[in-house]
Amino acid sequence: MPWLKSVLAKGTALTADCVIPSFTNPNNLSIVTGAPPSVHGICGNYLYDVASNAEVMMNDPKWLRAPSILAALADAGCTVAVVTAKDKLRKLLGHDMKGICFSAEKADEATHDENGISGVVDLVGMEVPSVYSAQLSEFVFAAGVKLMQRSSTRPDVMYLSTTDYVQHKHAPGTDGADAFYRMMDGYLGQLDAMGCVIALTADHGMNAKTRMDAQPDVIYLQDVLDEWLGAAKARVILPITDPYVVHHGALGSFATVYLPRDAHAQALTERIAALRGVELVLDRAAAAERFELPADRIGDLVVVSERFTVIGTAKSRHDLSALDAPLRSHGGISEQRVPLILNRAAHGIDPQRRWRNFDAFELALNHAY
């Protein structure tokens, strides 16, 4: 990665914290709003909607409680473009934003009315890739370069959001990972050469989640609670859940638990905390305060597992047959530290500050000159 090597020498390289749960939707929305989930409302990819007694995806803008920096910049007269890998994020990232907003997953369906642009596939010069591929992220980078090269669409501000498929499938240092970062470095170098100020960060980290025999190390928490309390008395929600589960089996290191009214919460907290692989159990109020979460959208308990362990619901609900490599996933505190890199020297920043990945826009817009 020669471009990144040069940036680390001459630019700004910080270590930041992402928001917990360290999942895609909460962190992408934190980055584009500059605020934690307690402000913008997106506390997972998936939640239990108490009002409707339904488990639902949080990919509808109705769940948003805050405007985005992107929409504000567009309202202020900036030309703004958003390219995301998966379509699940598109409507959230582009909510109330005037400009270009499309996904690599459905680039061939983009229209001027819906996405602010058409003919994306021809512009990028790539076929629409599989959602389970490194090429889906490459399409995002390639589209970003093409938008910058085309005078009619050159944005003042552009947000590129990739998929973590490669990081789930390929550990650092493997051929698949090296090829991905080599590709990424090349596209970022092209954007840099065009004069772009680049803020590079991650929505979350990633770790192996396996036992010593390389099999997934899973706490099936719904099964545990069913045994303790009786079938279906408690409800375990996994906020990692989304339509794309082949590479992680809907297993992550963060769960929320809704308890029956007659449950002894403190006793259950202690029993769950004693399970091997559990790092932390907090009640609703403590979790909302520590992790800056909307208290009305999390369960009675929040459970976070250790670095090498994931949490499931019932074993019968998780199909792991498609896992063709040792499980790698995220969601916990162990995936909170992420890079925050600027291809410029940052001026006027507090070196003692706790940096967050959602400080990316502040760095790029206010401190890179």
State pLDDT tens for residues 5-26: 999 999 999 999 999 999 999 9
For the chain, give the percent of residues with pLDDT over 90.
90
* Under 8 Å between Cβ of 87 and 24: no
Angle at CA of residue 289, ends 288 and 290, nearest 5°: 100
Question: Is the Cα torsion angle 15, 18, 24, 25 positive or negative in sign?
Answer: negative
* Under 8 Å between Cβ of 26 and 256: no
DSSP per residue over 24-79, as a string? HHHHHHHHHHTS-HHHH---SSEEEETTTTEEEES-SGGG--S--HHHHHHHTT--
User: pTM above 0.85?
Assistant: yes
Q: Averaged over 295-315, what is the pLDDT?
A: 97
Ordered domains of the chain (ranges, CATH): 2-205+337-367 (3.40.720.10), 218-329 (3.30.1360.110)
How many residues appear in the chain? 369
Query: In the numeric block, which tokens belong to residue 304?
Result: 């976070």
For the chain, give the percent of residues with pLDDT over 70.
98
- What's the pLDDT at 110? 98
State pLDDT tens for residues 206-239: 999 999 999 999 999 999 999 999 999 999 999 9
Q: Is 260 helix (H, G, I), strand (E, B) or coil?
A: coil
- What's the pLDDT at 156? 97
Is a pLDDT exceeding 90 seen at residue 152? no
